[in-house]
């Protein structure tokens, strides 16, 4: 088996662990070099928070820089569980970004978070980073962009413009409701079959539980987290899809 270098792109500080943490752990266990690059991991540019950002702070029990430091710590713990190397980039979450011309928040409520197109200058900045930073021999793995979250869309569009990839993962938990009407640009996707055992599931569960500040967004208790991921795995979730337009057929092996 030839060892590979895998780079998983994560819009936020939890998306890769949520979506395919078991696979990340399994690839690392086999000896592959695995990195998780989180794009929207930057600090807020100032303390002029929108009402929507303040609502999120209230849910987390922390605000601004303190909240981001907490989430960075959670991500570091999750990556340690998965034996993946984290890399955090400087772009702030959509709730902190403002229109460069009007100065108004990019999103003011949850509806806008999942309906607005990403800012062209942000997409271009991510595109340029990927073009310069991703090694030629690395296997880049991107989200599909399911659910339409503005930050997920930004990553998907940047990847398409800079370096089309043969591998994508379904954005969990959005995939549970959005796969059949996905907004992603990927076409001709084929699910890659790959067995993931109990150890991979346990690592996946533990990595997701590291994001304590985010648990209540989707679940009511840790037991629900474990059960949800077990059921998702049993139904074929947590693996990758191959995109025939991104690379040659010979590259569609995970090894």
* Residues 34-43 pLDDT 10s: 999 999 999 9
DSSP 119: P
Beta strands in 58-149 (DSSP E): 85-88, 139-143
Q: For residue 95, what pLDDT is reported?
A: 94
Q: Exposure pattern of 65-97 as b/e (b: 16+ CB <10 Å)?
A: eebbebbbebbebbbebbebebebbebbbbbbb
- Count Cα neighbours of 196 within 13 Å in the Cβ-side half-sphere: 30
Residue 207 pLDDT = 97
Q: Report the candidate in 166, 127, 168 with the shortest Cα–Cα distance to residue 145.
A: 168
pLDDT for 247 equals: 45
- With a cut of 70, list the residues of the chain below it in pLDDT: 164, 178-187, 244-255
**pLDDT reported for residue 178:** 63
Cα separation, 176 vs 146, whole angstroms = 9
Q: What pTM does this model have?
A: 0.92
Strand positions, DSSP E, 57-136? 85-88
Is the preceding omega at residue 173 within 30 degrees of 0, hence cis? yes
The predicted structure's pLDDT at residue 253: 55
The CATH superfamily of 5-251 is LmbE-like (3.40.50.10320)
| pLDDT for the residue numbered 216 | 76
């Amino acid at each position: 088996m030839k060892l590979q270098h895998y780079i998983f792109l994560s819009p936020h500080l939890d998306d890769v662990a949520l979506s395919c943490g078991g696979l990340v752990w399994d690839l690392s266990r086999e000896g592959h070099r695995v990195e998780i690059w989180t794009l929207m991991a930057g600090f807020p540019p100032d303390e002029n928070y929108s009402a929507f950002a303040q609502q999120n702070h209230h849910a987390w029990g922390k605000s601004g820089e303190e909240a981001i430091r907490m989430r960075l710590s959670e991500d570091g713990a999750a990556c340690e569980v998965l034996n993946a190397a984290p890399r955090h980039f400087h772009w702030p979450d959509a709730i902190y970004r403002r229109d460069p011309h009007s100065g108004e928040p990019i999103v003011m409520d949850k509806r806008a978070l999942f309906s607005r197109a990403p800012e062209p200058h942000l997409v271009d900045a991510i595109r340029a980073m990927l073009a310069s930073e991703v090694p030629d021999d690395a296997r880049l793995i991107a989200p599909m962009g399911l659910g339409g979250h503005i930050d997920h869309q930004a990553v998907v569009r940047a990847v398409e413009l800079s370096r089309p990839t043969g591998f994508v993962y379904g954005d969990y938990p959005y995939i549970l409701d959005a796969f059949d009407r996905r907004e992603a640009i990927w076409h001709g996707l084929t699910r890659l079959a790959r067995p993931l055992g109990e150890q991979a599931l346990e690592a996946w569960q533990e990595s997701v539980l590291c994001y304590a500040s985010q648990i209540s967004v989707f679940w009511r208790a840790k037991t629900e987290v474990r059960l949800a991921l077990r059921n998702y795995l049993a139904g074929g979730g947590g693996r990758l899809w191959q995109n025939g337009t991104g690379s040659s057929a010979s590259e569609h092996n995970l090894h």
